Amino acid sequence: MRVAAIIVAGGRGERAGADGPKQFLDLGDGRTMLDLTVHAFLSCAQVDEVVVAVPPGFADRVPATARLQVVEGGARRQDSMVNAFARVSAEADIVLVHDAARPFVSQTIILATVAAAAQYGAAIAALPVRDTVKRTARTGTSRTIRDTLPRDEIVLAQTPQGFRRDILSHALAAARDQDVTDEAMLVERAGIPVHVVEGDPANVKITTPEDVAMARRRIGGAGSMPVRIGTGYDLHRLAPGRPLILAGVRIPFETGLHGHSDADLVCHAVTDALLGAAALGDIGLMFPDTDPKWKDANSLELLRVAADEIRSAGWTVSNVDVTVIAERPKLRPHVAAMRTNLARVLGVDVTAVSVKGKTNETVDAIGRGEAMACHAVALLRGDTA
């Protein structure tokens, strides 16, 4: 199976507040948004060729290689797509389409989209909606609610989007006079079902100046600020009659974690990682279990206090990575809420927080379901160089 990727970079990106097309903005270390996006696809072993559509007059900004071709885009997105699709080799079975403004796409999403497109003919990466979705109507200068949409039927579309070559060719030919926002819309209008694969919150689209600033912080391009790394670890026994609370999320389970506070070992491990990175001691020193005022305390609030302490010491949270080790229960249904809680307390974007679940393969107390553990790593940046 041969896979081609089209990277749509033909827009001007005026909302990003740049002097030129946003895809050529330096995000750090001389790398542009488009550089990062192209590298993600050229680094994928399953992608055989890449075609980039750039604004007229910018083709010389992207050096062509054996696997990379560059074409000038058109006035509309589908015009750029037609130009790029014409350069895709006839041997390509699957064609991926990706926005240049999503430079943090993962290999996992690329491969999942390829697999789904091969199986179903058309697929997109998308995120479920967590908030209640309302349809509104505007009357003059006011806006009112018309109705509430079923949240479980709504997804937020991302790229890449993947299609069998013949399906994309048919959709492009049938919709030359239609304005669309993505290729999945073309395929939908052609009456072809589009399969959804799980997207990634980190696969953000860079649109505004604030998005650009976030991207620069994420790749370390905001200057030569001092960096500190801290690790945290916590373990608690499971006990009947206790709630299971992880990162502030109450998880339905027959047992909970035993401890002086609410025994939220995710918050405890992250707190220790932050304090360790800033050399401010540890959670036991800041919140001793000998003090009755911490009895059954909300560990998210303890984490908030620790985050305030590191900020007062001149540090800013860059990102946090968490690994929870437990045989049961499965954490995947709760990971999004856990990340959201941690991000809110730490004052960072949710894309800067990772939460993973692992088992201990039935080994020792954790493997027997008698305990749970958590490892955390935190990266801090100094507020001054």
CATH number assigned to the domain comprising residue 72: 3.90.550.10
Do 126 and 231 fall into the same domain? Answer: no
Tokens of 249: 């999320």
Number of domains composing the chain: 2
The pLDDT value given to residue 64: 82
Q: Tell me the CATH number at 369.
A: 3.30.1330.50
The pLDDT value given to residue 138: 86
Residue 375 exposure: Cα atoms within 13 Å on the Cβ side: 7
Do 210 and 253 fall into the same domain? Answer: no
Question: With bands split at pLDDT 50, 70 and 90, how would you rate the model's confidence at 45?
Answer: confident
The pLDDT value given to residue 224: 46
- Of 215, 190, 159, nearest to 6 by C-alpha is 159
Final residue before a domain boundary, out of 185, 218, 251: 218
Q: What angle do CA 217, 34, 124 make, to 5 degrees?
A: 95
Final residue before a domain boundary, out of 218, 243, 272: 218
Q: Encode burial over 332-349: b for 16+ CB neighbours within 10 A, e otherwise.
A: eebbbbbbbbbbebbebb
The pLDDT value given to residue 223: 45
Final residue before a domain boundary, out of 218, 248, 282: 218
In angstroms, what CA-CA distances link 133 with 122, 146, 198, 300? Answer: 26, 11, 19, 27
Using one digit for the tens of pLDDT, what is the confidence trace for 56-90?
Answer: 888 888 888 888 999 998 888 888 999 999 999 99
Alpha carbons 167 and 253: distance in angstroms, whole number: 46
Tokens of 290: 């000998």
Which residue carries 């370390």 as its tokens? 220
Do 184 and 234 fall into the same domain? Answer: no
Do 180 and 243 fall into the same domain? Answer: no
Do 172 and 294 fall into the same domain? Answer: no
Count of other CB atoms within 10 angstroms of residue 15: 13
Do 248 and 198 fall into the same domain? Answer: no
Alpha carbons 118 and 141: distance in angstroms, whole number: 47
- Whether 384 has a pLDDT exceeding 50, the answer reads no
Do 300 and 262 fall into the same domain? Answer: yes
Q: What angle do CA 269, 217, 279 make, to 5 degrees?
A: 35
The pLDDT value given to residue 385: 33
The pLDDT value given to residue 221: 45
249 Cβ neighbours under 8 A, 6+ residues apart: 334, 337, 338, 341
Which residue range(s) make up the domain with 116? Answer: 3-218
Count of other CB atoms within 10 angstroms of residue 115: 16
Q: Is the pTM of this model over 0.75?
A: no
Alpha carbons 353 and 346: distance in angstroms, whole number: 9
Q: What are phi and psi of 83, to 5 degrees?
A: -60, -45
Q: What angle do CA 133, 136, 142 make, to 5 degrees?
A: 135
Do 38 and 62 fall into the same domain? Answer: yes
Do 7 and 142 fall into the same domain? Answer: yes
